[in-house]
Structure 1
Amino acid sequence: MKINKLTLHVISMPLKKPFVTHLQTVEKREAIIVEVQDTDGLTGLGEAVAFSTPWYTEETVKTCYHMIKDVLFPLVEKAPFSHPKEIGQRFKQVRGNPMAKASLEMALWDLYARQHNKPLWTILNGTRNKILAGAVVGAPSLNEMVMQASDLVDEGYERIKVKISPGADIELLKVIRSEFPHLSLLADANSAYTLEDTKHLNELDEFQLEMIEQPLGVKDLVEHSILQKEMKTPICLDESIVTPEDMKSAIYLNSCGVVNIKLGRVGGYTNALEIYRLCQENLKKVWCGGMIEFGVSRAHNLALASLEGFSIPGDISSSSKYWDEDIIDTPIVVNHGYVDRLEGPGIGVELNKKRMIEVTEFKEVIEI
């Protein structure tokens, strides 16, 4: 693979509705769209999904921009390579910064698939014709949360994730479970609890949740292991799993029953596929998480979630859930809880150039 151009677009777009967690309320979303071009003029697309401030992880849009331009892309340039997984290995000499790494690696995987004129899901050995889709509910009040859940059910979603925190959990889940007794429901705590809340968390078992996601510390594996022994509801790890080594430790400690795999959080496909393999071999369920992302990352999520082991609906909602108009030429659409896999080369979508001009705050082209 011979790369001769890197283009970085810093984009910004308001959400249709604020996205609320106990950590942050997101009203406007920034991201970096990454384009890599080869010597034949083919282009691969990636997306840096860090937020503007470090509330989810330490990375931000600004730190990602620096890392992509000044540290990671020079590693791509420095020596020939034939497959993007070689770049995933090359990036291991740089500590941390998984979202920056993922954005560039995603673009290279997309380009590699386009060079072979194949959908990326075939390169990944995906098998699912239809991708299981779910959506996230996050709003300032109980009534708004219930209304969001109701709207999503009406749209055909069969799995809904609800953001919870102390004082905003039991009553909320009770109302939603009463309204939708057969809905696949899970709760995402974003590390809002401690082991001192074990008795309280045990009360969630009555709501027959598919799982509770990341109830304890963002880097913790040990206390999650202790909590899992006390709860019937499976624990799903998110922020705690960044590397395959984290996954090995979680398996050894039995810290969870489920893992949310996000390409951005784990540093791209190289790590994601290794974490997926470990989960398959050790009977841990997996699903594909979302980051309130734009269409490029959403299309990559579809490719990853086409793998057979992704048996739980992921955070793969329609483009219209967050955006009046997405940045891709073919919006992602959920129909009765599923999204059709994308059949075009690579991730199967192109940038909507008109929309990109409207939402781009800064653009830089780096030619080799």
Structure 2
Amino acid sequence: MEMNEIILYKLKMRMKNPFTTSFGTEQDRIFLLVEAKDANGRSGWGEGVASERPLYSEEFTQQSWYMLEQFLIPEVIHRKMDHPNDLQAIFQPYKRNHMAKAALEGAVWDLYAKQNNQSLSQALGGSKNKIEVGISLGIEDSYAKLLENIQGKVNEGYKRIKIKIKPGKDIEVVREVRKHFPSIPLMVDANSAYTLRDIDVLKALDEFDLMMIEQPLAAGDLIDHAKLQKEIKTPVCLDESIHSYNDARQAIELGSCKIINLKIGRVGGLTESKRIHDLCEQAGIPLWCGGMLESGVGRAHNIAIASLANFTLPGDTASSSRYWEKDIIDPEVVAEQGVLTVNDCPGIGYNVLMNELEKHTMEKKVFTK
């Protein structure tokens, strides 16, 4: 496969509501899109999920732009490749920058699928045509607002509710939720806000019959998570600690978790996501697909990877309307009673609305052979 043009976009889109985690509050989402075109006019699309500030990881939007502009796109634009998997070897000399790599790789995967008249799900080896999804709710100032949000999402049929916690907003918050919703599938996400000094707090969560506690300890840590998992009944789910196949392998061998949240951007793309999927399937570690407040392009990629067999837990890919007044794809992603249908059209299966895209574009650069 060849590309004769790659276009890099920087967008700014305002989410319907502020989203608060232990990292802070975000409402204006500044992110990247990559469009890869072939000589026949077909376009593949990928999304860069890094945030404006390096809070979730060391990556941030402007860094990803520079990495793509100066290094990754120049490496790819002149090359012939047999398969998107070839990008792993091409990118290997460049350390980390996984979200930038995933943005370009996602566009190449989408284009490859379209060139072969396959859906992206089929190209990846997906086996499911329906995916169960949950919802992620940010930290609220009041119990009443949080409970109202949960009731609304339960009414909409989402299959799992995730609430964010941080020190001082944890045990009593979960207790209040469980008092009103004693039997809903419920999990908490700590976004690395705790240490082993908080083990009594984390043990106290065992009484609430949670599906899991996501990333309670430091990003990148495997050893302390293994110590924690031995001490608590609630399954530990790793997110910010898993950046590669090797991270996943070591976490499994150490017993650092019982569940993994896989995010395409965090691990460097769809090829590495597939490798991690296969490893976890063999080890009996269930997966779910996490969200990064994506536009419709990123959501489409999440749906495709979540169609693989070992994504057995509800993911975070909610309907577009949960986050955006109007998404940049048509049709928009719609979850019906907590279930998404895997699109079987070629590639990601959604059309990018160029007029909407241009409305939100802050910067654009075209690369040609």
TM over 0.5: yes
2:139/2:163 contact within 8 Å kept: no
Q: Quote how far apart the aligned CAs of 1:143 are.
A: 2.5
2:47/2:103 contact within 8 Å kept: yes
Name the counterpart of 1:63. 63
SS of corresponding position for 2:329: coil
Name the counterpart of 1:315. 316
Name the counterpart of 1:355. 356
SS of corresponding position for 1:103: helix
- The separation in 1 between residues aligned to 2:105 and 2:150, in whole angstroms, is 35
Question: Following superposition of structure 1 onto structure 2, how do residues 322-337 of structure 1 map, counting pairs within 5 Å?
Answer: 322-337=323-338
SS of corresponding position for 1:93: coil
SS of corresponding position for 1:233: coil
1:133/1:317 contact within 8 Å kept: yes
> What is the total number of aligned residue pairs between the two structures?
368
1:89/1:270 contact within 8 Å kept: no
Q: Quote how far apart the aligned CAs of 1:285 are.
A: 1.0
Name the counterpart of 2:124. 124
Amino acid of the structure 2 residue aligned with 1:2: E
Q: Quote how far apart the aligned CAs of 1:22 are.
A: 1.7
Q: Quote how far apart the aligned CAs of 1:269 are.
A: 1.0
Q: Quote how far apart the aligned CAs of 1:144 are.
A: 2.0
- The separation in 1 between residues aligned to 2:253 and 2:139, in whole angstroms, is 36
- Aligned pair 1:346/2:333, yes or no? no
CA distances 1:203-239 after superposition (whole Å, capped 9, x unpaired): 1011111100000000100000000000100000000
Listed as ranges, the gaps of 5+ residues in structure 2 are none
Name the counterpart of 1:4. 4
Name the counterpart of 2:242. 241
- Aligned pair 1:100/2:100, yes or no? yes
SS of corresponding position for 1:287: strand
- The separation in 1 between residues aligned to 2:144 and 2:168, in whole angstroms, is 15
- The separation in 2 between residues aligned to 1:360 and 1:95, in whole angstroms, is 28
Amino acid of the structure 2 residue aligned with 1:32: L
1:15/1:322 contact within 8 Å kept: yes
2:139/2:165 contact within 8 Å kept: no
Fraction of identical pairs, as percent: 44
- The separation in 2 between residues aligned to 1:80 and 1:5, in whole angstroms, is 13
Q: Quote how far apart the aligned CAs of 1:40 are.
A: 1.4
Q: Quote how far apart the aligned CAs of 1:78 are.
A: 4.6
Name the counterpart of 1:14. 14
The RMSD of aligned alpha carbons is 1.0
Name the counterpart of 1:276. 277
- The separation in 2 between residues aligned to 1:122 and 1:339, in whole angstroms, is 16
1:88/1:268 contact within 8 Å kept: no
SS of corresponding position for 2:27: strand
- The separation in 1 between residues aligned to 2:92 and 2:209, in whole angstroms, is 40
- Aligned pair 1:298/2:299, yes or no? yes
- The separation in 1 between residues aligned to 2:153 and 2:145, in whole angstroms, is 12
Amino acid of the structure 1 residue aligned with 2:24: Q
2:5/2:77 contact within 8 Å kept: no
1:134/1:337 contact within 8 Å kept: yes
CA distances 1:114-144 after superposition (whole Å, capped 9, x unpaired): 0011111111111111111111010331332
CA distances 1:276-316 after superposition (whole Å, capped 9, x unpaired): 11111111110000001100000000000001111100001
SS of corresponding position for 1:309: coil
Amino acid of the structure 1 residue aligned with 2:277: Y
> Relative to structure 2, which stretch is displaced further, 184-193 or 72-81?
72-81
Amino acid of the structure 2 residue aligned with 1:154: N
Question: Following superposition of structure 1 onto structure 2, how do residues 191-230 of structure 1 map, counting pairs within 5 Å?
Answer: 191-230=192-231
Amino acid of the structure 1 residue aligned with 2:352: L
Question: Following superposition of structure 1 onto structure 2, how do residues 2-81 of structure 1 map, counting pairs within 5 Å?
Answer: 2-81=2-81
Q: Quote how far apart the aligned CAs of 1:245 are.
A: 1.0
- The separation in 2 between residues aligned to 1:269 and 1:61, in whole angstroms, is 20
